[in-house]
Amino acid sequence: MLEIRNLYKHFGPLVAVDDVSFTVSRGEVLGFLGPNGAGKSTTMKMITGFLAPTAGTALICGHDIQQRPLAAKRQFGYLPEGAPAYPDMNVADFLRFIAHIRGFRGAEATARIDHIVELVHLNEVYGQRIETLSKGFRRRVGVAQALIHDPPVVILDEPTDGLDPNQKYEMRGILGAMQQEKAIIISTHLLEEVEAVCSRAIIIARGRVLADATPAELAARSRFHNAVRLDIAAENAARIRADLADIPGIAAIEEAGEGERRVLTIVPRDNKPIAGDLAELAEGRNWNIGGFAVERGRLDDVFRAITAPPNEAGRA
Amino acid sequence: MKSLIGNTLYICRRELAGYFATPLAYVFIVIFLVLAGVLTFFVGDFFERGQADLQSFFTFHPWLYLVLIPAVSMRLWAEERKSGTIELFLTLPIRLSEAVVGKFLAAWVFVGIALALTFPFWLTVLFLGNPDNGVIFASYLGSWLMAGAILAIGAAVSAATKNQVTAFVVTAALVFVLVAAGTQTVIGLFQGWAPQGLVHAVAGASLFGHFTAITRGVVDLRDLLYFVSIMVAFLAANAVLVDLTKAE
């Protein structure tokens, strides 16, 4: 549904986007992940036709954004960074304007507006001027205008930025509800969002795509993938460490905590599963553990490792 | 195509509603009317002239517009770029031409409304004497056209900068040059030494000259063409500038 082909963007000597290609299919929620300044927003601006690419193009449902911009623009809904909207309009008028531009008239426009207001919970601010709205509501208005025409492709630039946890949860709920029918791409630098919402993640830094995988696959690249976290009594720490020395395949043991409890994180070599062996050992040698957890992997470590500048890389 | 015209109208409507959503529009109209009144009756020797026509009224329009129209045009595009709504606006399924024309039309209609609200002046001369209504009507139209030309210039300038004050000043300066070029003072400057062709060119470039011709009652196609071509030229420049500067 959404195909990005070899996008480049140069601002004079600065290369903001460097050969970015990917596709998003129906039913996918792609997380566009990267540090600030990575080129996420610039890429989105090119996809939506706001910025002309230096090279490459984007196809939305087969329509080339540069050759057939109007046809392409009808196929997506876009929430720009910062969720801009006309401050002097009230929510109702704004949505009606967007509905008209999207080709809806009269009763159909009203029906669409009512539906989207319900979906995004804008009822209580329906008559209010946009400049008086809180950030959370402004963002919801932005999402509403992006979804009002029920587009097959949805492009959201930092949709939960600045929202409180409740609002984030609601926004993610909205995304989840429409996931099946649409191809959605959201840009974010929140790793928890990627885990919560995205079926796939692309990590971009300095204009290049550095990784393209599911969140689980990305997490598996972490050195903490399959690490085991033990919650133990401080007094047993030394004994347990001694027992652990007998087990091959342990790369490191990290200890954290103060006072009477400690948390040991046992990192396996090559991410090999050691939970089974450890559980047996814990049972057999009576470690008296309070908690036992297997880590899926830490996305922030992977993120940092992947996006670190070349001279700093390799220090995960 | 229905959709082509439709979008332009929706954009125009949205923009116009935006003017009246704040005190801006009402303040502007009041100032326009008060200034026009003061200029006509006190500065324009309306009563001293003893003629039942609106020459004293129309003669000040170029100067009135010089000061007031940049105030309308300055926010046309600069505001959108500053607030970021331009990114939303230009990623909607609309043509750039629809966007440019729609916004311009809204500003032009707005100025038209302000102009129309000066009808009490017309009623005054109707009451006081026997004015040539044809000339007055033509003058109103000419004034509106001139306003449109000035607005087009202002819109293009507004697209070139994010700062509304800059837009105002640059527009006013440009319009001043175009208005002043037709005044006797400036023509006199050129007359002594410049070849006739140049003098004519300078006079011909002037808003003042063409407008004055219309208010004298002679509606020459060339005068209409002058204003329309300025509008078209600057609207085209507007579109180019919007495209060039939108992402800054």
- Answer yes or no: is pLDDT of A112 > 80: yes
Looking at the complex, does the CB of residue A15 fall below 8 Å from at least one CB of chain B?
no
**Smallest CA–CA distance from B245 into chain A, residue:** A51
Higher pLDDT pick, B41 / B3: B41
Q: List CB contacts (< 8 A) between B22 and chain A.
A: 88
CB-CB: which of B10, B84, B247 is closest to A82?
B84
In contact, B15 and B102? CB cutoff 8 Å: yes
Q: List CB contacts (< 8 A) between A88 and chain B.
A: 18, 21-22
Q: Which of B99, B98, B140 is closest to B122 using CA atoms?
A: B140
Domain range holding B145?
2-245
Q: What mean pLDDT comes out for the span A175-188?
A: 90
- Answer yes or no: is pLDDT of B90 > 90: yes
Looking at the complex, does the CB of residue B82 fall below 8 Å from at least one CB of chain A?
no
Confidence of residue A316 (pLDDT cuts 50, 70, 90): very low
Confidence of residue A311 (pLDDT cuts 50, 70, 90): low
Looking at the complex, does the CB of residue B229 fall below 8 Å from at least one CB of chain A?
no
Higher pLDDT pick, B6 / A8: A8
Q: Is B17 in contact with A89 (Cβ distance < 8 A)?
A: yes
Q: Which of A298, A247, A314, A243 is closest to A277 using CA atoms?
A: A247
How is residue A142 written in tokens?
């932005």
**Smallest CA–CA distance from A45 into chain B, residue:** B87
Number of structural domains (chain B) is: 1
Tell me: the pLDDT tens digits for A273-286? 888 888 888 888 88
CB-CB: which of B17, B18, B246 is closest to A50?
B246
Q: Is B85 in contact with A45 (Cβ distance < 8 A)?
A: no
Q: List CB contacts (< 8 A) between A9 and chain B.
A: none
Three-class DSSP labels, chain B: CHHHHHHHHHHHHHHHHHHHCCHHHHHHHHHHHHHHHHHHHHHCCHHHHCCCCCHHHHCCHHHHHHHHHHHHHCHHHHHHHHHCHHHHHHCCCCCHHHHHHHHHHHHHHHHHHHHHCCHHHHHHHHHHCCCCHHHHHHHHHHHHHHHHHHHHHHHHHHHHCCCHHHHHHHHHHHHHHHHHCCCHHHHHHHHCCCCHHHHHHHHHCCHHHHHHHHHCCCCCHHHHHHHHHHHHHHHHHHHHHHHHHCCC
In contact, B174 and B92? CB cutoff 8 Å: no
Looking at the complex, does the CB of residue B24 fall below 8 Å from at least one CB of chain A?
no
Q: Is A70 in contact with B84 (Cβ distance < 8 A)?
A: no
Looking at the complex, does the CB of residue B88 fall below 8 Å from at least one CB of chain A?
yes
Distance from the Cα of A50 to chain B's closest Cα (Å) equals 6
Measured CA to CA, the distance from residue A269 to residue B167 in angstroms comes to 65
- Answer yes or no: is pLDDT of B2 > 80: no
Q: What mean pLDDT comes out for the span A77-90?
A: 91
Q: Which of A83, A185, A195 is closest to A144 using CA atoms?
A: A83
Beta carbons within 10 angstroms of residue A254's beta carbon: 12
Chain centre distance of CA A52: 25
pLDDT of residue B50: 76
Average pLDDT taken over every residue of chain A: 89
Three-class DSSP labels, chain A: CEEEEEEEEEECCEEEEEEEEEEECCCCEEEEECCCCCCHHHHHHHHCCCCCCCEEEEEECCEECCCCHHHHHHCEEEECCCCCCCCCCEHHHHHHHHHHHCCCCHHHHHHHHHHHHHHHCCHHHCCCEHHHCCHHHHHHHHHHHHHCCCCCEEEEECCCCCCCHHHHHHHHHHHHHHHHHCEEEEEECCHHHHHHHCCEEEEEECCEEEEEECHHHHHHCCCCCCCEEEEEEHHHHHHHHHHHCCCCCEEEEEEECCCCEEEEEEEEHHHCCCHHHHHHHHHHCCCCCCEEEECCCCHHHHHHHHHCCHHHCCCC
A291: left (phi over 0), alpha (psi -120 to 50) or beta: beta
Structural domains in chain A, sorted by start: 2-214 (3.40.50.300), 228-295 (3.30.70)
Proportion of chain A above pLDDT 70, given as a percent: 98
Q: Is B84 in contact with A80 (Cβ distance < 8 A)?
A: yes
Looking at the complex, does the CB of residue B83 fall below 8 Å from at least one CB of chain A?
yes
Which residue type is seen at A80? P
Cross-strand partners of A136 = none
CB-CB: which of B11, B87, B92 is closest to A84?
B87
pLDDT of residue B34: 93
Looking at the complex, does the CB of residue A82 fall below 8 Å from at least one CB of chain B?
yes
Q: List CB contacts (< 8 A) between A53 and chain B.
A: none
Q: Is B87 in contact with A50 (Cβ distance < 8 A)?
A: yes
Q: What mean pLDDT comes out for the span B87-115?
A: 94
User: Is the ipTM here above 0.90?
Assistant: no
Confidence of residue A314 (pLDDT cuts 50, 70, 90): very low
